Amino acid sequence: MALAKHWLRRGEEGIARIAERAGYSSASTFSVAFTRHVGQPPTHFARTPLPPADDDASAASLPVA
């Protein structure tokens, strides 16, 4: 499922192709499994922006010269 999440985030392929690549017999079967595993449908997951990186948080802890 980690690869499917990666492919969805990239946004280069549709759900049917990702389902096929992940070994599912149909997009519907994949969608049900993905939703159970991740907690949201693959279409929603693909549209959800990634959280910001913690670069700012780690930089804030550096001493100021």
pLDDT in tens, 37-52: 999 999 999 998 877 7
User: What fold does the segment set 2-49 form as a domain?
Assistant: Arc Repressor Mutant, subunit A (1.10.10)
Question: CA–CA separation, 63 vs 8, rounded Å?
Answer: 39
Residue 20 reports pLDDT greater than 80: yes
CB 31 within 8 A of CB 41: yes
Question: CA–CA separation, 33 vs 47, rounded Å?
Answer: 18
Q: What is the pLDDT of residue 48?
A: 87
> Is the pLDDT higher at 57 or at 27?
27
Domain ranges of the chain: 2-49
pTM to 2 decimal places: 0.74
Residue 60 reports pLDDT greater than 90: no
